[in-house]
Amino acid sequence: MAKSKMTSKQFAQSKRKRRQWITFVRMCRYGVNNFSRNAWLTVAATAVMTITLLIVFATLAARNTLATTVDDIKDKVDMSIYLKTDVEKKDVDTITTSLRKLETVTGVSYVSPQDARAAFAEQNSKNSEALSALNEASNKFSGTVRVKLVDINDTDELASFVKNNKTVQQNIDPNREPSFAGERKSAIEGIAKSVVFADRVGIIATIIFVVISSLIVFNTIRMAIFNRKDEIEMMKLVGADKGFIRGPFIVEAVVYGFIAAVIATVLGVSGLYWLKDRLISGVQVEPTLNFVMTYIGFVLLGMIMLGALIGVVSSLLATRRYLKI
Which residues lie closer than 8 Å to 32 by C-beta, 6 or more apart?
251, 252, 255
Taking the model in full, what pTM does it have?
0.66
- Set out the domains of the chain in order of their start, with CATH numbers: 31-72+188-322 (no CATH), 78-180 (3.30.70.3040)
Q: In angstroms, rounded to a whole number, what is the distance separating the alpha carbons of residues 185 and 238?
A: 74
Q: Work out the average pLDDT over 132-136.
A: 54
Q: What is residue 264's predicted lDDT score, i.e. its pLDDT?
A: 92
pLDDT above 50 for 4: no
Report the candidate in 253, 267, 251 with the shortest Cα–Cα distance to residue 300: 267
246-255, pLDDT tens digit by residue? 777 778 788 8
Which of 35-44, 56-65, 181-190, 223-232 comes out lowest in average pLDDT? Answer: 181-190
Q: What is residue 240's predicted lDDT score, i.e. its pLDDT?
A: 66
Q: What is residue 247's predicted lDDT score, i.e. its pLDDT?
A: 75
Q: Do 137 and 85 meet the contact criterion of CB atoms below 8 Å apart?
A: no
Q: What is residue 266's predicted lDDT score, i.e. its pLDDT?
A: 93
- Give residue 2's pLDDT band: very low, low, confident or very high (50, 70, 90): very low
Q: In angstroms, rounded to a whole number, what is the distance separating the alpha carbons of residues 106 and 122?
A: 28
Pairing of strands 79-83, 143-149: antiparallel
Q: What is residue 187's predicted lDDT score, i.e. its pLDDT?
A: 63
Using a pLDDT cut of 70, give the percent of the chain over it: 68
76-133, pLDDT tens digit by residue? 767 888 888 888 889 888 989 999 988 888 888 888 877 777 766 666 556 555 555 5
Which residues lie closer than 8 Å to 218 by C-beta, 6 or more apart?
314, 315, 317, 318
253-275, pLDDT tens digit by residue? 888 888 889 999 999 999 888 88
